[in-house]
Chain A
Amino acid sequence: MILKQEEQAMLEGGFGEGVKLAMKVQVALGEAFDAPYMVPVTRTHVALSNQEADLWFAEKLANGGATCRVRPTVNPSFNFEQLSCITHIEKEDEETVKRTHDAYNRLGAIMTYNCTPYLEKNVPMFGEICSYSESSCTPYMNSVYGARTNREAAQSALCAAVTGVVPYYGYLLDENRKGEILVHVEADMENDFDYQMLGYFTPKKTGFKLPVFTGLKNPSKESLMNFGAQLNTGGNVAMYHIVGFTPEAPTVEAAFHNGDIKEEVTVTNDDLREMQSMLTDGYGKIDFALYGCPHFTIDQVTIVAEMVKGRKLAVPLFIMTSGLTLDLAKKMGYYNTIREAGGYIVSDTCMDQPCWKFLYGKKGITDSPKCAYYTKRRDMEFVIVPLEQSVEAALKGEITGYRK
């Protein structure tokens, strides 16, 4: 790899041990993928996780004197103050949260604790070269905005933030952004939930190929957020095109860079219903409702608030969202409405954090397959249905229907 003078100096330790380690990771990635050189990034997002390796690596960089040249936004941890009112938090988990916060703060990260930075606080322009880790981010950045990022690891994105550069490979190159398989969507696509199912289902048919969709009409930001999250959970899809909608796909020809369409598949209503029945656990009594994987938008909070207004939830309902959305929900009265019904809105928090131990062994309801995916390892069952249906179930304490 050809390095610029300053990059070489970083690699040789001229900017301290932390920067040296970060550049070493970037160079190794470049060599692994035959990148000719580094390119500057203008935005970064790091999937902070509080996991052992996350804390260890962030502390190693910080203790080595590194700070971020391109300050990243960061993924959720958990909101210690809010969660302590809901459940008992183990001393060691509290300790980890505080140490991770301290390490990232020293690195100069922007402590957004939110997994949808592309909707607030870290929104790119078309063509911007970025480094984002987090499964719902990469597809949204590449596909919806036409910004350019690889499917970064938490650590490689942090190294990009520290060094300000990424190796030039993968989705940064035009030739890797062309469509490889055409997906005709014949399903009706009536709500955001259909996009969750389409996202989870598509990789089963398209594998590692870059999918180009036809038949999708003006999906909402929530639809696109869910769509990307599930494409990258059900498979490893870091980029897609929607013909006539996303910026690099004004036409089918443009999406395929004027190349041949070698493969085509069709997705029907039946495919999506079948996907749902494979993902969901059996209907019946539920113990809780949990939302916000990815973080809920204010519009999704509004749907819940309007449904529970003046009523009492039969089981506790939890919404995870950003601090900004929590503030909005308070200003707009939704927070009180949901609290009065027996529900909670918690900010800065993720499904994959140890603060949900009190729900282990119980049965929940949600609208997100990704939410249920991570909890499989924690002995939590999830019924997965559209948002409105799940809130109705939380008001009753059970969900009835064909799937018992």
Chain B
Amino acid sequence: MKEYKCHKISEGRAEGEVLFSEDDFCFYLVDPKTGVVIEKNHCLYGKSIAGKILVFPNGKGSSVVQADGMYQLKMTGMEPKAMIVKNPDTTLVASAIITETVLVDRAEDSFYEDTADGTVVAVDATKGIITVKY
């Protein structure tokens, strides 16, 4: 089992399949009933983020909508299990903390090289370690 360092933002531990987004992510543009991305022209359009370890470069959206989108997903149980972000912003961080969603950044470069959609990983934000399971 290979391990990669990361940096804790929102505490906790979660395990699941990795889903990569090349595009920035706005949680308001996800259908809360299904977890499916409804933002046209987004690389994950039509795919579900529910239960995934979502990996994306930046958050996007106003000071209000990001938290609301994440909160609605949490209420329906369609939220991602954890999030791995390249460049955290204030809104994304605050939203993750209040909805108690696991969030890390600064994952080692080799993590991005060694994993792909479907790789099962465990994210331990509290310890700052991502472990590839299989």
Contact = CB atoms under 8 A, between A and B. Distances in A.
B67 A153 contact: yes
A150 B93 CA distance: 13
B90 interface: yes
B97 A52 contact: no
A56 B70 CA distance: 12
Contacts of B98: 21, 25, 53, 57, 155
Contacts of B93: 28-29, 32-33, 153, 156
A53 B90 contact: no
Contacts of A21: 98
Interface residues of B, number: 27
Contacts, number: 87
A152 B63 contact: yes
Contacts of B8: 31
Contacts of A170: 90
Contacts of B97: 24-25, 28-29
Q: Provide the main secondary structure of the chain A interface.
A: helix
Q: Provide the main secondary structure of the chain B interface.
A: helix
A54 interface: yes
A47 interface: yes
Interface residues of A, number: 30
B60 to A, nearest CB: 8
23 contacts: A21-B98, A25-B97, A25-B98, A28-B9, A29-B90, A29-B93, A32-B88, A32-B105, A47-B63, A52-B68, A53-B68, A53-B72, A53-B98, A54-B67, A57-B67, A57-B98, A135-B63, A151-B89, A153-B63, A155-B94, A156-B90, A156-B91, A159-B94
Given A49-B64, A155-B95, 12 more contacts: A21-B98, A25-B97, A29-B90, A32-B105, A33-B88, A47-B62, A52-B75, A53-B67, A53-B98, A152-B63, A155-B94, A156-B94
